[in-house]
């Protein structure tokens, strides 16, 4: 069953890489919170006709865990995507894509700090390599800028979004045992509701940009791929191999995001981007190898205990 998670998580990261490009293309065509609200209300409207029988069946559990589900939708869907779209006003899509590689290492750290989940030395080494890669990106190849706190505002906002999504991934363990169709529909509805105060603020502050034709097209893409398909795949991947190992695949977002940014947006690929990507892949390789070895040892231990 674990092998089934890999293609799901690969497609998830491809669509999320495209989300960074879509967010950059949206600048000037639809404002960040307008795109966030549009994304999730369209997702609800598309999902609900198909998911309603499951939602109705799961309604007792949904009501019982309403606060948990609302917080997961708010943190994982609203806060992260709003952070991404705001960041892309000020920084390149390549940077935003590479900085998302910090999510899996934060998942490992948060799981250890909050739940005391075991961490191996190889995972720690992978964490440090990924951290160095993300630091190179955030500092635009000059690590001395970090010591001076001289970081582009867009990169800073993106790193806040990275922390937010890591928290979402870690706390997915509290998701009630409801059907995946119910899960994605309820989380999307929570995301839309929680995005409304930010949309109202955006309108009141004069920052609102109504979507033009291009803005609507971007909205449709973000609904179908990053919002619906990838979220379903990511939730299922978490169920199959756990948050530590599933979170590591987010390190592939920089690759897809970088390639799409160069091809579609024509952004320049710098030497520090290459160095950052190399470090990120070394990190994911070490951490995934360690996680796979640990999962292989667990069944043998359980078998010996069952035999006693």
In a domain, 307, yes or no: no
In a domain, 120, yes or no: no
Instruction: Read off the pLDDT band of 106 (50, 70, 90).
Output: confident
In a domain, 305, yes or no: no
Structural domain for 165, as ranges: 2-97+151-269
pLDDT per position as a tens digit, 230-287? 878 887 888 888 876 776 777 677 778 888 888 898 877 778 778 887 887 787 677 7
Classify 142 as helix, strand or coil: coil
The span from the CA of 108 to the CA of 166, in Å, is 9
In a domain, 128, yes or no: no
The span from the CA of 286 to the CA of 281, in Å, is 9
In a domain, 295, yes or no: no
In a domain, 285, yes or no: no
- Model pTM? 0.78
Q: What is the tally of structural domains in the chain?
A: 1
In a domain, 286, yes or no: no
The pair of structure tokens assigned to 85 is 């779209």
| Cβ atoms of 63 and 137 closer than 8 Å | no
Structure confidence at residue 202 (pLDDT): 95
Instruction: Read off the pLDDT band of 301 (50, 70, 90).
Output: very low
In a domain, 306, yes or no: no
């Amino acid at each position: 069953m674990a092998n089934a998670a890999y293609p799901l998580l690969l497609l998830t990261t491809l669509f999320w890489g495209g989300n960074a490009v879509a967010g950059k293309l949206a600048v000037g065509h639809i404002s960040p919170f307008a795109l966030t609200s549009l994304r999730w209300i369209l997702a609800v409207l598309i999902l609900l006709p198909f998911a309603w029988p499951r939602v109705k069946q799961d309604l007792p559990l949904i009501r019982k865990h309403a606060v948990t589900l609302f917080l997961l939708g708010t943190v994982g869907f609203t806060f992260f995507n709003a952070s991404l779209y705001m960041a892309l006003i000020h920084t390149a899509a390549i940077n935003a894509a590479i900085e998302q590689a910090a999510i899996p290492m934060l998942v490992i750290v948060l799981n250890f700090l909050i739940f005391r989940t075991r961490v191996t030395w190889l995972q720690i080494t992978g964490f440090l390599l990924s951290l160095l890669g993300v630091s190179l990106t955030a500092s635009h190849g000059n690590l001395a800028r970090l010591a001076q706190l001289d970081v582009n505002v867009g990169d800073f906002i993106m790193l806040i979004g990275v922390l937010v999504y890591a928290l979402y991934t870690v706390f997915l363990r509290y998701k009630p045992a409801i059907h995946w169709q119910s899960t994605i529909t309820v989380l999307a509805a929570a995301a839309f509701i929680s995005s409304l105060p930010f949309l109202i603020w955006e309108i009141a502050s004069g920052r609102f940009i109504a979507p033009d034709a291009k803005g609507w097209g971007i909205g449709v893409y973000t609904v179908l791929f990053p919002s619906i398909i990838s979220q379903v795949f990511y939730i299922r991947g978490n169920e199959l191999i756990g948050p530590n190992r599933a979170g590591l695949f987010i390190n592939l977002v920089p690759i897809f995001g970088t390639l799409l940014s160069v091809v579609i947006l024509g952004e320049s690929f710098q030497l520090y981007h290459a160095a950052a990507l190399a470090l990120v892949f070394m990190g994911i390789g070490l951490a995934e190898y360690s996680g796979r070895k640990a999962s292989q040892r667990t069944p043998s231990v359980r078998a010996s205990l069952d035999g006693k």
